[in-house]
Chains A and B, each alone.
Chain A
Amino acid sequence: KAGVTQTPRYLIKTRGQQVTLSCSPISGHRSVSWYQQTPGQGLQFLFEYFSETQRNKGNFPGRFSGRQFSNSRSEMNVSTLELGDSALYLCASSFEGAGNQPQHFGDGTRLSIL
């Protein structure tokens, strides 16, 4: 069974640009969550999607948005990029997101802002 796939693995952008990251969950998983990992702030929750609806949202500005498609694939978009957005963005999937269903992570997209 294929794991969580994130594309691209690496991205370099400049301030002010926007970026879209993609995540394909494990087959059959319907919940997709996004996390940001930085050396200073650690792992922080961005948002979670289930059945094409955003079910939970973390404390990030509106520049960070996402969506989920009918096949459970998810995209995350960051607009008006800032230097502080440089981070590893991790996607995780689970069957339905419930507590006894662990989240499985992809290898992440490393975003660098110049």
Chain B
Amino acid sequence: GEDVEQSLFLSVREGDSSVINCTYTDSSSTYLYWYKQEPGAGLQLLTYIFSNMDMKQDQRLTVLLNKKDKHLSLRIADTQTGDSAIYFCAEKDSSYKLIFGSGTRLLVRP
């Protein structure tokens, strides 16, 4: 079945770049998403990429997609303390439901 995997934890210093990685198994996935969850809140859509794209940039966020390896990454430039949160990678399967990874907790140290 479909599966999405992420590393559990990432710690960076303020001002550095953060790279959060994700792998997925469903080769028929057409869209891949990144969401952010802060404590006590729901999921905030950060960005998404169509599977025929290699890269998408949106301000401080860069998404890279390697479809051959089924690998997705989210790079956050100039990481700020406000970026501390849990980041979820998700793929949308053929039935239009989202399959989520377990989330990567990003800690930004001052």
Binding site for B on A (CB under 8 A): 4, 6, 31, 33, 35, 42-43, 45, 48, 55-56, 58, 90, 92, 97-100, 102-108
Contact = CB atoms under 8 A, between A and B. Distances in A.
Nearest to B99: A45
Q: Is the interface of A mostly helix, strand, loop or mixed?
A: strand
A56 B95 contact: yes
Q: Is the interface of B mostly helix, strand, loop or mixed?
A: strand
A48 B96 contact: yes
Interface residues of B, number: 24
A105 B97 contact: no
Contact of A105 (B44, B50, B101, B103): B44
Interface in B26-78: 30-31, 33, 35, 40-45, 48, 50
B45 A102 contact: yes
A42 to B, nearest CB: 5
A100 B96 contact: no
Contacts of B101: 42
